[in-house]
Structures are given as C-alpha cells and as structure tokens.
Amino acid sequence: MILLLNAGVGVLILSLAIFTILARELFAAAIGFITCGLLLTLIWVQLQGFDVALIEGAVGGGLTGALVIGSAARLEMVEATARVERLGAPVQVAAALLAAVVAAGLAACVFALPESPSTLAPEVTANIDRTGVANPITAVLLAFRAMDTLLEAIVLVFALIGVWSLAPDRVWGGRPGPGWYSDPDGILAYAARILPPVGIIVGIYIFWVGADHPGGKFQGATILAAMWLLAARAGLTDAPPISRTLLRMTLVGGPLVFIAIGLAGAAIAGAFLAYPDSYAKPLILAIEWALMPSLTLTLALLLVGPPQRPATQ
Amino acid sequence: MNSPTIFGLCAALLVGIGLFGLIVNPQPLRKILHSI
C-alpha cells in the first residue's frame, strides 16, 4: 500500500514537472516549481530524511519559490517575446532525445546501486556521545564534518557580497530592494501582521530542538528570514542600508565565531575544529547561536537583492 | 522494487525533464542573466 502511495507521489511530481516545463505563463510555471518542492519534502519524509525534508520545504520550496516568483514578475515584460522565440521541432526532438539518454543513464545508475550501500552511520552512532548532541545530523554537520558547515556559512556571505556587487555605483551602501508598499488594510498587510509572531516562534523552536531532533540553524534561519521578508513585502519594515556597521558585523559574526572556535580547537584539542570532549556540546551550541542571526540576515538579504536606493530613502 | 528505487527513478526522470526544459526554453534564464 505504501509502495503504491509512493508511486502515486512519484507520478504526481513528474506530471507537475512536465506542467512546469510546458506552462505558457511564467507565473504558472513558478507555482508548479514550488509545488514540486513541497512534494519533494513529502518524498524526503517518506525516505526518513526529516532534516533534509525540513530544509527542502524551507529553502527548496519556500525561499527558492519566492525567488522564482520574483524573477517571474521581473520577466513579465519580456514573456511575450520569449514565446515567439521558441525553438523549432527538429531541435526540440533532439533535445528530447538528449534528455531521454541522460535520464536513462541516471536510471541505470539507480538500478546499479548496491543493495546495502556502504555507510558511516555505525561510526556516527558509536561516537555521537562524545559530541553531547542527540541528533546525528547535527553531530555530523557540526562535529564530524564541521569544516563543510563552516565553508557553507562563508560561501553564503560571499554569495551575498556577489549580489551586492551588482548594485550601481550611485546606490552603493544604500538600501536593498525597491522599497515595497502595500495597502495597510489589504490582505498582504494583514497576513504580515498575523503570521510573523507564529513564524518567529516556529523558527526559534526548530532552531532550538536541532541539537536533539530534526531541525537546526539553517531551517530556523530560513523561516525567520521568510517572516521578515513577508513584513518587508507588506511595507511594514524596510531593509537596512548595507553600509551599516552593525549589519555587516552580524553578517560575518557567525562565521568568525566558528573560525575562532576552530582555531581554539587547534590550540587546545590538537586539530582545527576539534572540540575537547567535555566541552563539545557547549561549543556546538555556541556556533549554532552565533550562526543563527548571520544566516537569517544573509538568506533574507540574498532574496531582497542588490541595493537599489540611497541609504537616506 | 522499494521506495528509494522508485524515488531514485523519479529523480532521474526529473533531471531529464529539467534538461529538456532548459534547452527548449532558455529565455527566462537568458533574460535574467541579461537583466543583470
């Protein structure tokens, strides 16, 4: 029965993907993409990957969906031109053949996978007590593979700098985004007043339980960023100027604390990002607490885009 | 056939569908890059 339901979800997501590709309007395609992301979340839950499901729902369906809708809105002006530029039938057939070959190759790889794949899960289970956290995903991300997480946090800051660098010289240091306004009595402003208090609690809860249960800073930060974005889109708040020192310190504060703890590990525990046994959990929590505001700000500002207005506006 | 295999096959097909869409309808991506 479960197998049948899973096959049904598979057929549904494939149908949605085809709809997304064939949709004549960009907005419809964007909605199809977001729905695909939500269905992917269900699939990860079915595969027992709860942490991945949370991040897929928050980032894959949520923040990326907002980004795609924003892009669709920007492209509305050129949509008519884009329709005229569709490729001819021979090229479409060739593209379909190429896509079919790639899909068939990947499908063959799926069938070639071993029945019982090699896994490091037993090693994680054997050593998780030394980290002090109960969630194996958190133990992997912040202890056994902490270097990857550190680099992810740094890459996000560099991505934001890359987005900011697209700003024209005259507004460098100014406020990101166009400065949204909405009807104070409209449904958007209403939702932006009602949802953030709930969303903030959910975001902090998901962050808080991350040490022992599925959740963590990335998922929590994404929800907090979405709540801020909702309030900003409704015109209830505005993005700070990127020249603001406090903003910049918050953005780099998380990665800097992470690096400092890593260097302290090199001096005290003998390796970069190694934790002394009895201090592992407090240090992991310190990194999580430091990264949370940095990630929230980075994700929110990545969505808002480069500065478009002077700081005084 | 188990659930991971079903979803693995779905993922393979999704990659194919995405690749097809990117080739036959590259205008949105091109316009985004152009507008930057």
Query: A306, A307, A9, A291: which is closest to A150 by C-alpha?
Result: A291
Kindly identify which residue of chain B lies nearest to residue A167, measuring between CA atoms: B36
Is B16 in Cβ contact with A99 (below 8 Å)? yes
Between A294 and A117, residue with greater pLDDT = A294
Give the confidence band of A97 by pLDDT, cuts at 50, 70, 90: very high
Contacts of A256 (CB under 8 A, 6+ apart): none
A76-86: average pLDDT: 60
Kindly identify which residue of chain B lies nearest to residue A102, measuring between CA atoms: B16
Kindly identify which residue of chain B lies nearest to residue A22, measuring between CA atoms: B21
Residue environment code for B1-36, b if the CB has 16+ CB neighbours within 10 A, otherwise e:
eebbebbbbbbbbbbbbbbbbebbbebbeebeeeee
Which residue's structure tokens are 């505005």? A238
ipTM score:
0.85
| Long-range contacts of A87-90, Cβ-Cβ distance < 8 Å, separation of 24 or more | A87/B23, A87/B24
Is B25 in Cβ contact with A107 (below 8 Å)? no
- Could you give the dihedral angle defined by the CA atoms of residues A17, A22, A26 and A30, in that order, rounded to the nearest 10 degrees? -10
* pLDDT value, residue A81: 56
* pLDDT value, residue A312: 78
Are A86 and B25 a contacting pair, CB within 8 Å?
yes
Question: What are the pLDDT digits (tens) for A171-198?
Answer: 888 999 888 888 888 888 999 999 999 9
Question: What are the pLDDT digits (tens) for B8-30?
Answer: 999 999 999 999 988 888 776 66
* pLDDT value, residue A82: 54
Are A230 and A168 a contacting pair, CB within 8 Å?
no
**Angle in degrees, 0-180, between the axes of helices A146-164 and A245-268, rounded to the nearest 10:** 160
A307-309 and A175-176 beta bridge pairing: antiparallel
**Which residues on A lie below 8 Å from B1 (Cβ)?**
3
* pLDDT value, residue B36: 53
CA distances in angstroms from A252 to A13, A263, B19, listed in the order given: 38, 16, 36
Helix (H, G, I), strand (E, B) or coil at A175: strand
Question: What are the pLDDT digits (tens) for A264-309?
Answer: 999 998 899 999 878 888 999 999 999 999 999 999 999 898 998 8
Question: What are the pLDDT digits (tens) for A9-31?
Answer: 999 999 999 999 888 788 888 89
**In the predicted structure, residue A75 carries a pLDDT above the cut 80:** no
* pLDDT value, residue A155: 95
**In the predicted structure, residue A123 carries a pLDDT above the cut 80:** yes
Are A61 and A34 a contacting pair, CB within 8 Å?
yes
Which residue's structure tokens are 């199809």? A32
Listed by start position, the domains of chain A span 1-114, 132-313
From the list A6, A26, A106, the residue facing B3 with the nearest CB is: A6
**Which residues on B lie below 8 Å from A16 (Cβ)?**
none
